[in-house]
Structure 1
């Protein structure tokens, strides 16, 4: 019997937080939600396909290294965080399958044999699968960050759900680096309220609202640049008609940010 895996949009937190003892208390709720994902899924995926907010290319690009290196794409963190390694194997054959699916949908696609795991992937994955025993690969966003193209990308990737591949859009439901702490309280809540209503809507309405996300309450305060929201479009596109469940929610991340993560599947 084939198991259709869910898709996820996760808020991945800040930088290399799982490797920093001083950040773990403030990330406790997020960590608990990530650690619970394997239980929710119920089976061990053959691989995780992560669409990270931290990788953009002119064509959708799949990481194809069998042993991906690390990409320390952050600054100002302790020296040891530039030496951490998440040693999950890559998935070159799956990377080719991804490129084939994307190209068959009429979207530009290519392989990258050199790209490493960025923190949008290794930070949540080290909490989800700390033994690094599940193959992992990343797929880039496409420059321009067009919501419609990324919804189409998700639809192209949907067959992977029946092939044992877990599709994870990794971003943040609120991402304004100049407005964290108490100043974020009102805009992050306003946008999150809209987001909760949007993902809970019927599929056609859900996609229509996401296409018009920039008109949502506090949208451009929540996302001055939308790269941390666009992975949601991929998860929703791959979900088709599946309903959403909020699997992480808090209103005090970074001292005032309301943030959420969502699972899409028939068991919602």
Structure 2
């Protein structure tokens, strides 16, 4: 498989018609286009958040005050900050590291995928509240031990069939990864996985599709960097705004900075959207 020919990256919309997994990313990504992808994802996130708010008001859905999203944003702490630092890396390893046909990414990714699948099922089936999930978030590393053993056994005894599965059914694996990533974020809005929470998680599904396409086309490091950029800007931005004194010079300065960043995100995000629509990206 090491001598497999790697194709050049194709435009996003053409790629999504039939995603093909590769051993290596077809082409490196540079900083300025990467910022365009970040802005596009943020723009989709902002638009999705606005649409979610409209749906909540229209249908009277109730997002609990102690939902994961509300709790995380309203309760800044060192542990929560550590989660924001670690979560993008773990989620990329759990949902997207395996989107490859190379041995190492597949089996390392499977270990994290098994871990995330178990943890999400455990938290949701046990109806754990967000405070519990945040307090015990790093328990995931204990689950990682048996998950690594399971992946190691697959590598030792079923290496070729597993890799063949990823080569032959890369399209299905790609979309299953995206769907599970979106479904996992339904818990952000509801503590008991109400059916409408999955509708509200559609923006996260779309973000997952774009992150997965970046991982396959440009490499795992770029999807990790993008995930970090999005989570950090949103969560740390909200925390910073909430902790400063109200109506202070600092708060007004932050508001101006956020407006400037928001304007840049909208403009460059729209530019990126046009380039995607025209098949240039």
What TM-score comes out, normalization by structure 1 length?
0.28
Structure with more helix by fraction:
2
More RCO (CA 8 Å, sep 6+): 2
What TM-score comes out, normalization by structure 2 length?
0.27
Structure with more strand by fraction:
1
